[in-house]
Amino acid sequence: MRNVLILLLAGLFMQPAEFVAQDKQKKKDSYAPTPSGERLLGYAKRKELEQNSEFSNIEFRCIGPTVMSGRVVDLEVDPKDPAHFYVAYASGGLWVTHNHGTSFDPLFQNEMVMTIGDIAVDWQHGERIWIGSGENNSSRSSYSGFGIYRSDDLGKTWLHCGLEESHHIGRVLIDPQNPEHLTVAALGHLYSHNEQRGIYTTTDGGKTWTKSLFVNPTCGAIDLVRDPAQPNDLYCATWERSREAFNFTESGAGSGIWKSTDNGSTWSLISTANSGFPQGTGAGRIGLAIHNSGSGPTLYAVIDNQNPREEKSEDTGGLKKEDFINITPQQFQALPDSLLEKFLRTNEFPEEHTAQSVKRDIATGRIIPSALSDYLYSANAALFDRPVIGAEVYRFDYMTSTWKRTHQEYLDDLFYSYGYYFGLIRVNPSDPNDIFIGGVPLVRSTDGGATWKSVNPENVHGDHHALWINPNNANHIINGNDGGINISFDGGVTYINCNSPAVGQFYTVEVDDADPYNVYGGLQDNGVWVGPSNNVPDRNWHQSGDYPFDFLMGGDGMQVQVDTRDNKTIFTGYQFGYYSRIDRHQGTEADIHPHHLLGEKPLRWNWQTPILLSKHQQDVFYIGSNRIHRSLDQGEHFETLSPDLTRGAVPGDVPYGTITSISESPLRFGWLCAGTDDGRVHISRDNGYTWTDISSGLPQLWVSRVVMSEHKPERIYVTLNGYRKDHFKAYVYMSEDLGTTWKSIGTALPFEPVNVIAEDPVSQNILYVGTDHGLYITTNLGATWQSFGSGLPAVPVHDIAIQKREMDIVLATHGRSLWIADIELVSAIDTMYNSVLEVFSPEPMRRGSWGERWSMWSEFNEPDVDVAYFSSLPKGSPIEVRITSGDQVIHSFSYTHQEPGFGYIGYDLSISEAGAEKLREIFRANGSDTSEIKASENGKIYLPKGRYGITLSHGIEVETTLELK
């Protein structure tokens, strides 16, 4: 806590003048970007809630999965030993390997943030590690960082080194001549304007920083390279971009390439108007690569060129949807029926729409010609179909100070329209004409960029962000992408997958009622998966060939609902509302995607479209666009129930004015609630036919979750999220009167955006909340909050599912896969607060061949049991533990109480020889066999089958039982 307070004081009293002025301005707007000082207060609050939690010993276990991995943003390889390298994940922290990726250890997972934009390692001076926090890919889930971190002890501890308002770091560069001198490319805020962006330098190891390049409040620095033969020559790329919930401007006039000849102190633009490099509003993200073996530098740049293509449209003799945008009704009537009919059938319009019926509808004014184009609108298609130039590679001519494109043809199917996600270009250290570009595939050119081929075989995920080429062996490359780490020793022909870390970026989670129950989840760019709740991530599947988790669907995996009548019928899908009903027993799949009627404006679908299968009748299925749609036959047919429940469409290139959350009352069939991305909440009490706006009194922010209570029919919970405004306050509300009035219950939470809320199934006073930095619990409906659980990193918790039969809480984390904890004890806490000491019965255990091993080369089979207890005793209090058979004590030991709250006393189920003799006497008196009461191969005597008492005492005594079967 001392380090946290030092950091807090530094943030509050030592901020540069630009931060102080900016913070004052932000406070004028209640939804303004959260200033760094308030974020520091939030971090201090988080640490306080961790240290004072009664639930800090409730253990979480990670069940994986690992096989699909998660988004890699950077890697740094030891030049003396390429088996040793560091990997930075977008939201999964920092990991290190010493064995070519066979195994990894986590290093950066409990700091203020886990998100990473770039890392740098000083291999020459003791392996000091630098982290530029805040992912730089600017995607929907690119979390903001808190500046620069440094570790001088191989990642064991971390020191914060400033630039906290940068939010997203593009690149960190260490001066090879001076390890205290760093140059940093700061990208800046993603969802708001700010001044702390551009190029920063430090000469004292991060104590102080100097801004050496600034373009404007929406233009930051994204990439930075050093000439290896002339270390004072640096090149940086600036990128103008700004994101809002409804629009992403991914290019601008500030994007360009700059050169410094004085080690980053001053800069000059080398992508000027007459240089031949793309300019203006279409200039997007830029990546840089440089080669210089001593004979002169070769500088490459890859750019996401958002300028429109100048292509002649081919006349295929058919109609296209664009033909109907500006056509008049008179021109429409003149179209040949045969051409129009072909267009309708090719584009799968409903059969009732024929050439003649459509012309009739236009003649009567029922629809207008552009309705045919509107009918075919798809947010998914818009990701791929925008006619921009896309990826281009340029080479700098040092003689003329001009740029020349290396290729004649377009580099299609590489960046599509979302080149903001890419910027990777690397050049072989031993060959200036050997270049790699990372986009959806990884491609390579061996002729200086003139021609390209894919080096993205079938076992390598797409979307590439990191690449290392061995300077001593160009066939040895390490690639980082949305599917983890891949290593090739043949120049990219084949790869080894190194995906042992559980770093999946889950959006959602759901459970079924099978035994053992299954866990389902949708992931960023890795589809939808299902696996057993009792999974222990290991490598056994490498031998069996049977990975415990199964792949259900591709794309960006979204929400899941399960028909628990058979636990085989699954509803799930991918981005923008494209869902399917999957029958895992029959192996069939049917599409589910309600469509607007011809003449209506297209429905607006959220990236993570909400779905709901009624718990009252599981043939009833709901899905939300900007309206609520219902099916009474599991998606075969739909009716649209509601009007537009949002504040309306907003111009932009991201669907907005959409429904984000749907809830059904577990206590009243037909009571429904829906929340939207623009801050509206509606309720229906007549099966969705009429809706009442209950948003009054709530912030106008993105509704991340709406939940109707399973304890009281009139109770509703709502969480709202300001992430898309760089606003990080926690918003949690409760209504006891169906939304007529609202009470804020999140004021005691840290400044962390809230993603999800869930009720405890047993206690109506207990709530669980998942934020961008962890999980919290309240036992008094929000009056106070505590951090929940042990073992869980400070990772975004996106979703929560509770398996009621097993009383498990299941978390979907966006960066560290799936986690489970047992909450059966937690639910009973209402009865414990006045208790000094309580003890709980362990689950019955099956007596095995304890203390034995199957061969001399294996480990002994040694059991243990955790005896759960709750105590309000002070820390350090001694607790005596006695194991009894009947009224005889056969074993005893002492335990030191750690913290007030829940705890676990470990017991290895062994007894001494004296205790064993007492037990033999008891067995003989009962006529029982004593032959099993003997020392095992490891020398320990273990309890035989039977029923035993466990007594805890500290002034008072509490008892429970242990059963061995």
Does residue 65 have a cis bond before it (omega within 30 degrees)? yes
* Res. 5: pLDDT tops 90: no
State how far the Cα of 962 lies from the Cα of 908, in Å rounded to an integer: 13
Residue-level pLDDT at 6: 37
Average pLDDT over residues 438-462: 96
What's the pLDDT score for residue 22? 38
How would DSSP label each residue in 420-479?
GG--EEEE-TT-TT-EEEESSSEEEESSTTSS-EE---TTS-S-EEEEEE-TT-TT-EEE
Beta-strand (E) ranges in 309-412?
388-397, 402-405
Q: Which two tokens stand for residue 910?
A: 């062994």
CB 716 within 8 A of CB 706: yes
319-361 residue pLDDT tens? 999 899 999 999 999 999 999 999 999 999 999 999 999 999 9
Q: Mean of the per-residue pLDDT values for the chain?
A: 94
pLDDT higher than 60, residue 508: yes
Report CA-CA distances (Å) from 353 to 347, 636, 886.
Answer: 11, 20, 82
pLDDT score for 378: 87
pLDDT score, position 165: 98
Query: Span 871-879, mean pLDDT?
Result: 92
Please state, in angstroms and as integers, the Cα–Cα distance from residue 136 to each residue in 287, 547, 687, 771, following that order: 12, 33, 44, 21
Q: Over the stretch 598-617, which tens digit does the pLDDT of each residue have?
A: 999 999 999 999 999 999 99
Q: What is the pLDDT of residues 764-774, one digit of tens each?
A: 999 999 999 99
Regarding predicted confidence, which is higher, 427 or 4? 427
Q: What's the confidence (pLDDT) of residue 8?
A: 38
Report how far apart the first and last C-alpha atoms of the chain are (Å, whole number): 46
User: 809, 756 in Cβ contact below 8 A?
Assistant: no
pLDDT at 19: 36
* pLDDT at position 955: 87
Residue for token pair 């914060």: 160
Residue 591 clears pLDDT 80, i.e. is over it: yes
- Range in 332-336, 351-355, 492-496, 899-903 with the lowest mean pLDDT: 899-903
Examine the pLDDT at 383 and tell me if it is beyond 80: no
Specify the pLDDT at position 30.
Answer: 79
pTM for this model (two decimals)? 0.94
Instruction: Report pLDDT digits (tens) over 673-721.
Output: 999 999 999 999 999 999 999 999 999 999 999 999 999 999 999 999 9
**Distances, alpha carbon 582 to alpha carbons 549, 575, 638, in Å:** 16, 17, 17
**pLDDT tens digit string along 122-175?**
999 999 999 999 999 999 999 999 999 999 999 999 999 999 999 999 999 999
pLDDT in tens, 284-320: 999 999 999 988 999 999 999 999 988 665 666 789 9
Query: For a pLDDT cut of 90, what percent of the chain falls above it?
Result: 92
Tell me what pLDDT residue 314 has.
60
With bands split at pLDDT 50, 70 and 90, how would you rate the model's confidence at 379?
confident
pLDDT at 377 over 80: yes
The predicted model gives 469-488 an average pLDDT of 97
pLDDT in tens, 29-55: 579 999 999 999 999 999 999 999 999
Confidence label for 828 from pLDDT (cuts 50, 70 and 90): confident
State residue 900's pLDDT score.
87
Q: Which residues pair with 718 in a beta bridge?
A: 706, 733
Give the per-residue pLDDT at 313.
58
Per-residue pLDDT, averaged over 798-825, amounts to 97
Residue 126 to residues 129, 179, 468, 677, Cα–Cα distance (Å):
9, 10, 21, 48
pLDDT band for position 569 (50/70/90)? Answer: very high
pLDDT in tens, 205-255: 999 999 999 999 999 999 999 999 999 999 999 999 999 999 999 999 999
Residues of the chain with pLDDT > 70, as a percent, come to 96
